[in-house]
Copies of this chain bind each other. A is one copy, B any other.
Amino acid sequence: MKEEITLETIRQYFPDFSEPELQDQILANGKMYRFPEGSLIMDFGSHVRMLPLIIEGSIKVSREGEDGSELFLYYLSRGESCTMTFSCCMSDKVSEIRAVAEEDTVILGLPQRVLDEWMMKYKSWKNFVLQSYDQRMKEMISTIDQIAFSQLDQRLLDYLSKTAELHQSKEIKATHLQIASDLNVSRESISRLLKNLESRGQINLGRNKIILLEDL
């Protein structure tokens, strides 16, 4: 993939940015960055100076407990942006979340300065920002639902299907320990539940991988 941003890229991945002037502005102000799989894009407490629009790949967003344990919040993928970052940029605050490249990821970074300006200038930008907030809000509520109202087996199934959907693959590449940290539970619990799912014919287990056999 080219390091250059082109009008084509923007039109392709962010078709909602309809105003030609906005497209030009993005071109003029944006910069491409690439993050290899697993690399840290943003961390708790770090200052943020640009808003990432995801061109290619995906990002895992998580929250940290006092003791350093993590909790998976949601994935972001192409065509999306990190709302938490936006809010940090706008009020010049520090990040509340951690963002890690889930795959090799290319983002288009937009500088702090223009974000707010565009809100009142370009309708499609304003809509994009509001919709992003909305979506994230919903994800958060759904996360709250899961932790508050569901038992671990449900949460695990949900996690597996979200991950499978993100990667467009029935084969999930992850260790039990990784899953356990994402859900902030013990590794043994996950191992046992997975074993259960396998014996019920819902998944196949391999080292570092889980294969979903049905739609969950």
Chain A positions near chain B (C-beta within 8 angstroms): 63, 65-67, 69, 71, 73, 83-84, 87, 90-91, 96-97, 119-121, 123, 126, 129-131, 133-134, 136-138, 140-141, 143-145, 147-149, 184
**The residue from B69, B120, B123, B137 contacting A140, defined by CB atoms under 8 A apart:** B137
Q: Chain B residues with Cβ under 8 A from A134's Cβ? A: 87, 90-91
> What residues of B have a CB within 8 angstroms of the CB of A129 in the complex?
130
Residues of B within 8 A of A147 (CB): 144, 147-148
Name which residue of chain B comes closest to A87, CB basis: B134
CB neighbours of A184 from chain B (8 A): 148-149
Are A138 and B65 touching (Cβ within 8 A)?
Answer: no
User: Can you report 15 residue pairs joining A to B where beta carbons are below 8 Å apart?
Assistant: A63-B145, A65-B149, A66-B149, A71-B149, A84-B137, A87-B133, A90-B130, A91-B134, A96-B141, A97-B141, A119-B119, A133-B133, A133-B137, A140-B140, A143-B144
Nearest first, the 4 closest Cβ-Cβ pairs linking A and B are A65-B149, A140-B140, A133-B133, A87-B134
Q: Which residue of B67, B126, B144 contacts A144 across the interface (Cβ within 8 Å)?
A: B144
- Would you call the interface of chain A mostly helix, strand, loop, or mixed? helix
Shortest CB-to-CB span from A40 to chain B, Å, is 19
Roughly how many angstroms separate A121 CA and B123 CA in the complex, as a whole number?
A: 11
Apart from A120-B123, A149-B184, what are 4 other A-B pairs with CB-CB below 8 Å? A65-B149, A90-B134, A96-B138, A140-B144
Known: A63-B145, A96-B141, A145-B65. A126 touches B133 (CB 8 A): no
Per the bound structure, the CA–CA distance linking A71 and B143 in Å amounts to 13
A136 contact set on B, CB distance < 8 A: 137
Q: Which residues of B contact A69 (CB under 8 A)?
A: 149
The closest CB in chain B to the CB of A140 belongs to B140
